[in-house]
């Protein structure tokens, strides 16, 4: 296979999903050394981003955002396992913040029976779950409604966050890249997450395996402090390796 054809094939594979050197080598029928050289060249040409052991699509490449219904249906077993593990870190008396997203909404379900927990959230899915939970004090962060995720954001949400602090923040994201942070579809989402992180004593990022190394939106929230990644056992070593300096909680996924 000519180098130009090989490069084209590599880009098609990487754009389809994040992948590693071993997988590319097998798919193309060439040595891993050849793949590494190709990835280095394509990265220098800014066609993709090198990751530990593989590559991901170029930072700034925008893909259509999944609908809310699609996100609810995707990786449900992983999300539930992650949510259960996250709930173990919430104790009576805590003030916690639940970010937008379906994984944080799943966490809300596991907090319904808790006592004396104050939940602050911009996640309307979580609000609907927790509204009648007797042991939960619930504070909704106001602002502009983002219907595609059923969450609030914008200047009013940012102002509210500047007036409070929380013990633990549980964050969602479209993607998590060790070198860059949390990836989101809009600048307002990314900035609100930055505001949340600044107001939390502890930060937990809840991300299923497919979101690790995923860099397919244009807006970023840096993670420049200690934080904990909670993900599922579906994440292989290649996906977890870039996060080796981050505290990891990897939970077993149990299929329904």
Query: Count of H helices and E strands in the chain?
Result: 10, 15
Pick the closest to residue 21 from 4, 7, 8, 38 (CA basis): 38
**pLDDT given for residue 56 in this prediction:** 67
> Which tokens belong to 86?
């996250």
Q: How far apart are CA 205 and CA 175, in angstroms?
A: 10
State how far the alpha carbon of 15 is from the alpha carbons of 64, 119, 182, in Å.
13, 38, 19
Which residues are CB-contacts of 103 (< 8 A; sequence separation ≥ 6)? 79, 82, 83, 172, 206, 207, 208
- How many CA within 13 A on the CB side of residue 229? 29
Q: Could you tell me the pTM of the whole model?
A: 0.79
Q: Which portions of the chain are predicted below pLDDT 50?
A: none
**pLDDT given for residue 46 in this prediction:** 67
What pLDDT digit, counting tens, does each position of 137-185 carry? 999 999 999 998 999 999 999 999 999 999 999 999 999 988 789 999 8
**pLDDT given for residue 253 in this prediction:** 84
Q: How far apart are CA 252 and CA 256, in angstroms?
A: 13
State how far the alpha carbon of 64 is from the alpha carbons of 160, 174, 182, 187, in Å.
30, 11, 17, 15
**pLDDT given for residue 256 in this prediction:** 53
Q: How far apart are CA 111 and CA 96, in angstroms?
A: 11
């Amino acid at each position: 296979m000519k180098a130009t054809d090989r490069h084209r094939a590599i880009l098609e594979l990487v754009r389809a999903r994040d992948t590693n050197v071993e997988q590319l080598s097998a798919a193309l029928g060439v040595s891993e050394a050849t793949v590494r050289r190709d990835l280095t060249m394509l990265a220098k040409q800014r066609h993709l981003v090198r990751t530990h052991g593989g590559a991901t699509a170029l930072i700034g490449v925008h893909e259509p955002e999944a609908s809310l219904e699609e996100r609810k249906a995707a990786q449900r077993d992983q999300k539930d396992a992650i949510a259960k593990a996250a709930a173990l870190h919430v104790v009576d008396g805590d003030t916690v913040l639940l970010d937008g997203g379906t994984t944080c909404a799943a966490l809300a379900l596991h907090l319904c029976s808790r006592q004396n927990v104050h939940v602050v959230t911009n996640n309307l899915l979580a609000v609907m779950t927790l509204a009648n939970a007797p042991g939960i004090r619930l504070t909704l962060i106001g602002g502009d409604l983002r219907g595609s995720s059923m969450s609030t954001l914008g200047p009013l949400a940012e102002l509210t966050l500047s007036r409070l602090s929380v013990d633990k923040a549980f964050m969602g994201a479209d993607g998590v890249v060790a070198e860059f942070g949390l990836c989101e579809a809009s600048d307002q989402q990314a900035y609100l997450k930055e505001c949340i992180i600044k107001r939390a004593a502890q930060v937990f990022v809840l991300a299923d395996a497919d979101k690790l190394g995923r860099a397919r939106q244009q807006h970023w929230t840096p993670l420049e402090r200690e934080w904990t990644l909670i993900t599922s056992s579906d994440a292989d070593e290649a996906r977890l390796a870039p996060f080796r300096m981050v505290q990891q909680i990897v939970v077993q996924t149990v299929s329904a």
